Amino acid sequence: MRILRSTVLLILTGLCLNSAMDAQVFNEKEVHLKNLRQLTFGGDNAEAYFNETGDKLIFQSNNPEWGLDCDHIFLLDIEEAADNPDYRPPMISSGEGRTTCSYFMPMGMGVLYASTHEGGAGCPHTPDLRRDGKYLWPIFDDYNIYIADEEGNITRKLTDEKGYDAEATVSPDGEWIVFTSLRSGDLELWLVRPDGSDLRQVTDRLGYSGGAFFSPDSKKLVFRASVFTSKEEEEEYQELLKEGLVAPTNMEIFVVDIDGSNLTQVTNLGKANWAPFFHPSGEKILFSSNHHSESGWEFQLFMIDLDGSNLKQITHESRFNAFPMFSPDGKKLVFSSNRNNGGTRDTNIFIADWVD
């Protein structure tokens, strides 16, 4: 869940100690990244996604120096932000509730994001996210998806169901919005037109399915989903869901056609594989994973072919890297990392030229 992705970021980066290498920005093993630049400085900043022209990013932050108690949505000018610790991007969410899962609409039609603000102006209460040695994500019932202009004026409420609706992204052709919803009784992927019409359910499998992005040709979706190895794990998932919680520890990457056909499991790595995004070729996927980490604390970016072959590690620096996205022209990669945070718990946004 994209809000869930933000939450697990806070948990994972907040509970592990940063290594001495965190003082570095670039690692010589990162051969696919060139001219790496830091765009935010302080707090937890995540889920940064490009506009159509590739010169702006929309992202969420809880930076306490900006007076924030939980996540809100900001619009970032890349050139203004590059290497400028004093740059403060404008907030374009309402400033109320908790917000997440922002994305640009096509053709200058504004932005979308999920918010709990109609359920209350304050940040919603977050329950204890540790239980029996497991880390949990909260599913806030008050989340709905809104469309706003780039000045922050809400122009449309896209969803109006009781229960979790979030994690929305837009197809490159502008025809569809995909999001994760609890409206069927389980966390599934749904499609809807930008005007709110033609609602369609895509997935129908027990377990969380979410964090979906479209392929470059708008015909497929890549997403992460729960994988169960026993009846007991299925029952635990269902019990936690009743409490508004999900355990994100066992997830794999899947692809599916937008009509719900040809569902395919791409990874079979174990542990948590998440935050997937299509390579510009449409034939590979970048994603974050801790499958290689004995402790489970280290998350790096990996790349894999759609058939599950040719797994390759992309990042090697720091203990947390996630939320990769390619620019519309495929020449740049933006991602979140806790590198260069001075030994703090901060996670920041980085941008690099992509080298195939």
What is the C-alpha separation between 69 and 98, in angstroms, rounded? 9
- Percent share of the chain, pLDDT over 70: 93
- The pLDDT assigned to 14 comes to 36
Average pLDDT of 123-146? 86
Q: What is the mean pLDDT of residues 164-172?
A: 98
In terms of pLDDT, which residue wins out, 21 or 244? 244
pLDDT in tens, 44-101: 999 999 999 999 999 999 999 999 999 999 999 999 998 889 999 999 999 999 999 9
pLDDT at 3: 42
Domains of the chain: 2-354 (2.120.10.30)
CA torsion angle for 347, 149, 286, 257 (degrees, to 10)?
150
Give the pLDDT confidence of 273-322 residue by residue, as tens digits. 999 999 999 999 999 999 998 877 899 999 999 999 999 999 999 999 99
pLDDT on residue 19: 33
Q: What is the pLDDT of residue 24?
A: 63
- Of 57-66, 85-94, 125-134, 186-195, the one with minimum mean pLDDT is 125-134
Q: How far is CA 202 from the centre of its chain?
A: 19
The amino acid occupying position 110 is G
pLDDT at 177 > cutoff 80: yes
**CA–CA distance, 100 with 24 (Å, rounded to integer):** 28
Residue-wise pLDDT tens digits, 142-166: 999 999 999 999 999 999 998 999 9
- Up-side HSE of residue 325: CA atoms within 13 Å toward CB? 27
pLDDT of residue 15: 34
What does the pLDDT look like over 14-45, one tens digit per residue?
333 333 333 467 689 999 999 999 999 999 99
Under 8 Å between Cβ of 227 and 237: no
Which of 50-64, 125-139, 202-216, 292-306 is predicted least confidently? 125-139
Mean pLDDT of the chain: 91
pLDDT of residue 100: 96
Look at residue 145 in the predicted model and tell me its pLDDT.
Answer: 98
Q: Mean of the pLDDT values across residues 6-12?
A: 43
What is the model's pLDDT at position 11? 40
d(CA 259, CA 333): 29
Residue 337 has pLDDT above 90, yes or no: yes
pLDDT at 8: 44
Residues of the chain above pLDDT 90, percent: 83
Give the Cα separation of 221 and 168 in Å (integer).
Answer: 12
What lies within 8 Å, CB to CB, of 234 at 6+ separation is 206, 207, 228
pTM of the entire predicted model: 0.92
**Selection from 287, 208, 295 nearest residue 12 by Cα:** 295
Q: Is the pLDDT confidence value at 210 over 70?
A: yes
Q: What is the pLDDT of residue 269?
A: 97
Distance of alpha carbon 46 from alpha carbon 205, whole angstroms = 28
